[in-house]
Amino acid sequence: MESQQRKRKMEYSQDSYAKVNLFLDIISRLPNAYHEILTVFAEIDLHDKLKFLLTNKQEIKILSNVENLNNSNNLIYKIAIYLQNRFGVKKGVIVKLTKRIPIAAGLGGGSSNAATTIQALSKLWELDLSEEIMHEIAAEFGSDINFFLKGGTAIGKNRGEVLEECTQIDLKNLLLVNPNISISSKTAYQAVTISQPSNTWKDLLETNDPQYCYNKLEEGLLSRYPIIMEIKNQLNNQGAKNALLSGSGPTVIGFFDNPEICKNAQTYFKEKGYWSYITTTRRRQEK
């Protein structure tokens, strides 16, 4: 029993979930080169796996199945170093990352890993960080990280780091399709033209109906990446109720009513060599 308790203090494992943006509008440009947005985040059941192993050395080491993530540019590494320096931590950590969420895909994988790291190291390094401090740290490292500290469904404002609770959206038979390309957030936001805001997010939250989903970033990206429009059209032809770019893309979400039609559509895209995944939204978990 004592050895099991000691083991629990030496390691910590947590799944790191992806998200989709069911609504994303660009309100204005902020003076700090960011954009003011209004978005509806929804956590989904696609996830990476992270295992944190406590070490007596102060080194931070990442071991991932994706080789180019094993370096100091990874948000996991940056946050671990920040926490170590800010709180005078004398221990280190080895992080084993099993990556399942595509990179630079509009699904928030890096931000989710960052939030998981804050929560895990607060426990493993016995920092006992308050929710307020965790959110403060999250906002310093990115715009979506704060959402992943909570999960579920939430409204994001300002850069996305200011969150408001809302009714939980329950959607099944979501088909994610990615044509195996990457689009940076910078590229997506540079292509946007700000116009009259949309209010369909209110209808979305009231009805859970994906016909009210919206992504302002699509307008600027469709002409630059015609493959996105092709996927949207193909999803609709395969029986999707709606098809939408998630976040800054290039992952497209197809919303299906029928699970069999959804599976058939996935087979269609697999035969084209695209990455695909059938998922559902998740309700907020107590953490």
Q: Which residues are catalytic?
A: 19, 144
DSSP structure class, residue 39: E
Do 94 and 13 contact (CB within 8 A), yes or no?
no
Do 235 and 265 contact (CB within 8 A), yes or no?
yes
SS3 at position 216:
coil
In whole angstroms, give the CA distance from residue 66 to residue 73: 13
Pairing mode, strands 92-98 and 60-64: parallel
Do 76 and 120 contact (CB within 8 A), yes or no?
no
As a residue count, the chain comes to: 287
Helix residue spans in 164-251 (DSSP H): 185-190, 200-207, 217-222, 226-237
Q: What is the dihedral of CA 44, 45, 46, 48, to 10 degrees?
A: 110
In whole angstroms, give the CA distance from residue 144 to residue 134: 13
Q: Which two tokens stand for residue 224?
A: 């630059």
- Neighbouring residues of 194: CB distance < 8 A, sequence distance ≥ 6: 26, 27, 28, 29
Pairing mode, strands 242-245 and 214-215: unpaired
Do 256 and 262 contact (CB within 8 A), yes or no?
yes
Q: Which two tokens stand for residue 42?
A: 């929804």
